[in-house]
A and B are shown apart, each in its own frame.
Chain A
Amino acid sequence: MIEIQNVHKSFGKLEVLKGIDLTVEKGEVVTVIGGSGSGKSTLLTCINGLEPIDTGKIVVDGTEVHAKSTNLNKLRQKIGIVFQQWNAFPHLTVLENVTLAPRKVLGMGKAEAEAIGEKQLKHVGLGDKLSTYPSRLSGGQQQRMAIARALAMSPDYMLFDEVTSALDPQLVGEVLETLKMLAEEGMTMICVTHEMAFARDVSDRVAYFHKGIMAEIGKPEQIFNDPQHPETQKFLASVR
C-alpha cells in the first residue's frame, strides 16, 4: 500500500505539490491526469525518493520513503518506475539492459537473471531482440524494454510517468497494450498519462491534478461522465 499524506513540495519558489493525500491499495490501478505543471510527474518521483519532499510523508508498505533511516536503494527495488524518456543504457544489449539491475542489485547469477530478463522481454513482445542494441530499436520498443527492465526487479508497484508522451503516434498503442496487460495481471500501478481513453479503460480510480492539488478523484465513469470539480470539467472539455 502506498500512503501519501499531506505532501508539499517546492522547486525554489514554485510550489508544485500543495498538500497531496492519496492512498493506493495493492492491486489497484490509479491514473493521474491533468495539465502540464500540475505536479503529477513530480509526485511519482517523490514516491520512490528520487525527489525529496518538504513536508508530509509518503509511506510504502510501512516504510517512510523520506525518513533518514530508509535505505532508498532497497526500497526502490520494489517500486519500478518508467519515464517519458525511456533512458535505455546505450552501451548494453537489450537483454543486458534488463539483467543489469537483477545481477548487480539483487546479486542474481547470470543464468538466473537472463532467464528472468528473457521472460520479461518476451512478455512485452521483445523476445526476438535480446542481443540487439537499443539504438536499433524504435521508441516504442525502447519504452517496452524500459518496462521489462523495471519488471525484472519483480517490483510490487509500478509507476508510469507519461510513458507514451515522447512516442510517435503510431507507437503509442503498443506501449499502452503492454500497460493494459500489466493492469489485467493485477500489478499495482500509478500512471500519469495524457491518454484519456487509456485512463478510462484501465483505471480503478482516476485522479485529476490541478496546479499542485488533487482536485478530484473517483471511478473513471464518474470522473469522465460526471466530473464534479469545475476545473475537471474544463480540462475534460478541452481534451475531448
Chain B
Amino acid sequence: MFDTALSAADLIFLAKGAGMTIIVTAISVAIGTVLGILFGVIRVQLGAVLAAPLTFFLDIFRSVPLLIQLVLANAFMGMVLHLRFSGFTIACMVLSLYTAAYCAEIVRGGIGAVPATTRRAARSLGMSWWQDMRYIVAPLATRVALPSWIGLALGVMKDSALVYVVQVTELLKSTQILITRLQEPLFLLMICGAFYFIISFPLARLGGYLEKRWSND
C-alpha cells in the first residue's frame, strides 16, 4: 500500500518511549492521587478560610501551563537549590503535584456528594470520624469521583508528552526523533496515536466496568 522505512528496531524504540510514558504516568498518578486525597480531605476539614493557603498553592499548579512548570522546576532545582535531580525525577515531581492539585478538587467534590444526613447516621451509631470516613464516605465518594479521576489519569498520560523539555524521552519525543530521521511525520504520528490509544484503553474500560458494577448496588 505504501512504503515506509520504519524498521522493527524503530518500533521497539517507540515501544520504549511508550514504556516511559506509562512509567511517568503511573508514578505521577499514584503519588498525585495519594497527595490529592490528603489535600482534598484537609480542605474539607479545615473549611474554605483556613484552607486558603493550601487552595492557593494548588491553584498555581492548576493554572500555570505544565510546560512552564516543568522548565521552571528544572531551573529552580538546579540553579537555586543546586540539587542535581534527573529529568525523570523532576518530571515525576511536577506531574505528581499537577495531578494532586486536580485530584484534590475531585476528592473535595466526592466528599461533598455524601449527604450530611448519612454521615450523621454513621456518627450516631458510635462510629468515630475516621470510621465514618473509612467505611461510609470513602466508598460513596469514590463512586462519585471515579469518572473524573479516570479523566484526570488519562489527561495526565497525554500531558506527560511535555516532559521532553526536561530531557525525558517518552512516546511523543521518541516519535519526533523518528520523524526527524525518517521524514514520515503523518505515518509516524498515526503509529504514535495508536500507542497512546492502546495505553489509554484499559484504564477507560476499567472505569466503565466499575461504574457498571457499582450501579447495581
Contact = CB atoms under 8 A, between A and B. Distances in A.
Interface residues of A, number: 24
Interface in A78-96: 80-81, 83, 85, 87, 89-91
A73 interface: yes
B45 interface: no
Interface string A51-90: 0000000000000000000000110110011010101011
A148 to B, nearest CB: 12
B217 interface: yes
The secondary-structure label for the interface of chain A is mixed
Given A91-B139, A104-B135, A133-B217, A153 B118 contact: no
A31 to B, nearest CB: 20
Contacts of A149: 125
A100 B121 contact: no
A163 interface: no
B193 to A, nearest CB: 38
A217 interface: no
B125 A105 contact: yes
A101 B127 contact: yes
Nearest to A105: B126
A73 B118 CA distance: 16
Interface string B120-150: 1111111110010001100110010000000
Interface residues of B, number: 21
B143 A91 contact: yes
A83 B121 CA distance: 8
A93 to B, nearest CB: 9
21 contacts: A48-B124, A50-B120, A73-B127, A76-B123, A76-B124, A76-B126, A83-B121, A85-B117, A87-B115, A89-B136, A91-B139, A91-B143, A91-B217, A101-B122, A101-B127, A104-B131, A104-B135, A133-B216, A135-B217, A146-B121, A150-B124
